[in-house]
Amino acid sequence: MGKKKKGIAVLSGGLDSTVAVSVFKEDYDIHAVTFNYGQRAANEEINSARAICDKLDFKHTVINLKWLKDLGSSALTTDKDLPILKENQLDDTKLTNESALNVWVPGRNVVFTSIALSFAESEGAEIIIVGWDKEEAATFPDNSKEFLKSFNELINIGSIEDIEIKAPAIDLTKKEIVELGEKINAPMELSYSCYSGEKSHCGICESCLRRKRAFKQADILDKTKYLE
């Protein structure tokens, strides 16, 4: 058996990135990077990412970007109240756009992906794996197919190496991500999606609601522990 190709993964510890990186777990030697940018859920996200990497035998690095916390006024990095929706409001464009604005962290995916590129160049990796998906792209432009295409074009122009960003969930809803995760035996039970940073998922923030709905719609057992 030949030596595996190398990949860098941006792994938040969340559902989307956990499934995305699991798509490549057999064919690539993966180094996952997780970012601590002063978010409420930093500790739980890091613990989750570490557990996933231990399970899948990936190298794991935590990168501190505390300066990002001081930019903007995201509810993820300040004491602002987290936006709360009901499950039947998750497809209300007006409400979800307002919610997204409240949790937006300036330039986050641009920064994360650029740093991942630095790792990829230095380690001879051929791909960068991200968890961007169709459902998130509805309110977060840095999850969109257009963003993926543009960033790959940027790399093609600005990098001396042949590196491509891979986003296997780019055309998938959360339900479809859960279905894919089940099919490929991704360790979804180890992932952490909550905005609040509590040890157990709060069950009421938008991220928790989307996670709960996805498992329910997919009719797949949700092993997540929710406070509510």
How much is the pLDDT for 132?
98
How much is the pLDDT for 91?
86
* Binding site listing: 11-21, 194, 202, 205, 208
List all residues 6 or more positions away from 166 whose beta carbon is below 8 Å from its beta carbon: 7, 20, 24, 127, 128, 129, 130
Cα-Cα-Cα-Cα torsion 21, 24, 28, 34, nearest 10 degrees, comes to 0
* Binding site listing for ATP: 11-21
Question: How far from chain centre, in Å, is Cα 144?
Answer: 13
Gap between the Cα atoms of 128 and 141, Å rounded: 19
List all residues 6 or more positions away from 1 whose beta carbon is below 8 Å from its beta carbon: none
pLDDT tens for the chain, 228 residues long, are: 568 999 999 999 999 999 999 999 999 999 999 999 999 999 999 999 999 999 999 999 999 999 999 999 999 999 999 988 888 898 888 999 999 999 999 999 999 999 999 999 999 999 999 999 999 999 999 999 999 999 999 999 999 999 999 999 999 999 999 999 999 999 999 999 999 999 999 999 999 999 999 999 999 999 999 997
What ranges do the domains of the chain cover? 5-218
How much is the pLDDT for 2?
66
* Locus of tokens 């995760």: 181
* Binding site listing for Zn(2+): 194, 202, 205, 208
Fold observed for domain 5-218:
Rossmann fold (3.40.50)
Q: Considering the entire predicted model, what is its pTM?
A: 0.95
How much is the pLDDT for 87?
87
